Amino acid sequence: MKVLLDTNILIYLVNPASHYHQTSRTAVETLVDHGDTMCVAPQTIAEFWNIVTRPSPRGLSWTASQTRKAIGEWESAFLLLDEAPDIYPLWRDRCAANNITGARVFDVRLAVIAEKYDIDKVMTFNATDFASLTTVVMLTP
């Protein structure tokens, strides 16, 4: 089974101070132990970089070097999905057809990516954000 990791999972994986840190680790480790493939999208990596390099309290105040190191580890451990050119028109049309505005545009893009790459599940703590956007199954740790 292929599981696309949402940005919040990546954030909690690297933040031991988070209430969701251990839950995220255990969920990912369990799936990997069962032979599932963890996937990340370039968009998720970009969102992760944005959040962890923000100053505290809204971010983790990481340096670019720290961030690059974490991303490098994921590039080795997880399947990094390509930026397929047909994702953009699918995303644009879905946003327009569903009157999507604001930050939800990022959730729509992940939903389109999951569908494009035949992802079985998306692991996220925000399953309701995806509820009306896709038929892909949401997995909450």
Q: Residue 120 has what pLDDT? A: 85
How far is Cα 108 from Cα 91, in angstroms, rounded to an integer? 7
How far is Cα 120 from Cα 35, in angstroms, rounded to an integer? 13
How far is Cα 52 from Cα 133, in angstroms, rounded to an integer? 27
* Residue ranges making up the domain that contains 41: 2-139
Half-sphere exposure of 50 (CA within 13 A, CB side): 8
Number of structural domains the chain divides into: 1
Q: Residue 6 has what pLDDT? A: 95
Taking only the tens of pLDDT, the chain with its 141 residues reads 999 999 999 999 999 999 999 999 999 999 999 999 999 999 999 999 999 999 988 899 999 999 999 999 989 999 999 988 999 999 999 999 999 999 889 999 999 999 999 998 999 998 887 777 777 888 899
How far is Cα 70 from Cα 51, in angstroms, rounded to an integer? 13
How far is Cα 31 from Cα 37, in angstroms, rounded to an integer? 8
Query: Which stretches does DSSP call E strand in 83-139?
Result: 121-123, 137-139
CATH number at residue 46: 3.40.50.1010
Q: Residue 19 has what pLDDT? A: 95
